C-alpha cells in the first residue's frame, strides 16, 4: 500500500499484516486477470477473424 497510516489509526481488533496481505492478493489477482483477458481477446482476434 502506498499510504502508510500510523498505528493509532488501526484498531486493536484489526490485523494490519493480514489486511495488507489480502490487499496485495487482490491487486495481483486483478492484474493477472486483466492480462489473461487481454491475451484471450488477442488470440480470439487472431484465430477467429
Task: Give per-residue pLDDT as tens, 1-49.
Answer: 556 666 667 677 788 889 999 999 999 999 999 999 999 999 999 999 8
Q: Is 25 part of any domain?
A: yes
Whether residue 11 is contained in a domain is answered as no
Q: Does residue 12 fall inside a structural domain? A: no
How much is the pLDDT for 15? 86
Structural domains counted in the chain: 1
State how far the alpha carbon of 4 is from the alpha carbons of 8, 25, 43, 49, in Å.
Answer: 11, 18, 40, 48
Task: Return d(Cα 31, Cα 17) in angstroms, integer.
Answer: 21
29 located within any domain: yes
For residues 14 and 8, the answer to whether their CB atoms sit within 8 Å is no
- Helix ranges restricted to H, the chain: 16-48
**Residue 42 lies inside a defined structural domain of this protein:** yes
Residue 2 lies in a domain: no
**Residue 37: domain span:** 17-49
Q: Strand, coil or helix: what is 35? A: helix
Amino acid at each position: 500500500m502506498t499510504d502508510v497510516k500510523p498505528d493509532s489509526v488501526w484498531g486493536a481488533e484489526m490485523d494490519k499484516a493480514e489486511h495488507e496481505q489480502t490487499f496485495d492478493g487482490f491487486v495481483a489477482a486483478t492484474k493477472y486477470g486483466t492480462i489473461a483477458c487481454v491475451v484471450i481477446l488477442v488470440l480470439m482476434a487472431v484465430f477467429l477473424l
